[in-house]
Amino acid sequence: MKTFQVLTDSTSDLVKTERDSLGIDYVSMSFLICDKEYEASLDWTELSASDYYGLMRKGNRAITSMITEEKFREKAKQYLDEGLDVLYISCSGKLSGSIGCGERVAKELAKAYPDRKILCLDSLRSLHGEGAIAMKAAEMANAGASVEEAHRLLSAERLKYQTYATVETLDWLRKAGRVKAGAAFFGEIMQVKPIIVGDAQGDNFAFKKVRGRKVSLRELASLVVERLEKPEEETLYIEHADAEEDAKYLAKLVSEQIDVKEIKISSIGPIVGATVGPGAIAVNFYGKEVEINK
């Protein structure tokens, strides 16, 4: 019997089949592009991924917003009224203020629901690294674990959920303030491609730089091979920002070296996509604990 409800947010990139199979719900963020605001739906209901990244390729920048207290309150109350505890798995607090929003509302609702528990967990991740933590939490909820047990276990294990990424161009990272203008300019000339890691503190940074797109994809594949502990038992989640062929190429590189349980390919959502830009590729998996810090 399900003991608590798992909530996540728009940066988890969980597709509908994953959410539905485990009973996961999410609080939506939003974004503004071409002077129009959209809900950051995990199902791309208002603007398709190809249209979104197509607009970005034309030079249009997307401005993102974290979850609001109103949205979180409404969603949490829905499940509290059903007699369920709530566990919110958030985007890394280093990347978004959503965890703080959830904690404030949880504290407020604790007074109105003294018999229920509302816990928040900073995943220290975004993309499907965050989503995989939410999936594990939901599996525990469906198996009868308490919300405290899930929070305790995932707090201890979250650094084993990891994300590595690369980008097609440094320009979007520059616009987001992640790369200095000069470095971006010379990086483009030299075809420098950063290898980005979600580190042990929940921050994202380029911990390695290589030259050329194919080399960057091979580097991602090498990281997967190096850091997966039991590949035959793990699912590899490859995400792309309108670069499906490169995502398939990365899957091929990995498959040529190790046998993983499954490889799933999907789109990078609009919130993270606004920072990394079209052409970005990310790989997410459960493996050796991340020890790298910015």
Domain 160-286, architecture per CATH:
2-Layer Sandwich (3.30)
- Give the start-to-end residue ranges of the domains of the chain: 4-159, 160-286
pLDDT value, residue 168:
87
Averaged pLDDT of the chain: 92
| Model pLDDT for residues 39-58, shown as the tens digit of each residue | 999 999 999 999 999 999 99
pLDDT value of position 183: 38
Decide: residue 41, CB within 10 A, 0-12 exposed, 13-18 middle, 19+ buried.
middle
Answer whether residue 228 shows pLDDT above 60: yes
Determine the topology of domain 4-159 in CATH. Answer: Rossmann fold (3.40.50)
pTM, two decimals, is 0.94
Do the first three CATH levels of 4-159 and 160-286 match, i.e. the same topology? Answer: no
The residue count for the chain = 294
- Report the C-alpha gap between 76 and 4 in whole angstroms: 11
Return the bridge partners of 221, or none.
none
CB atoms within 10 A of CB 102: 28
Neighbours of 97 (CB within 10 A): 13
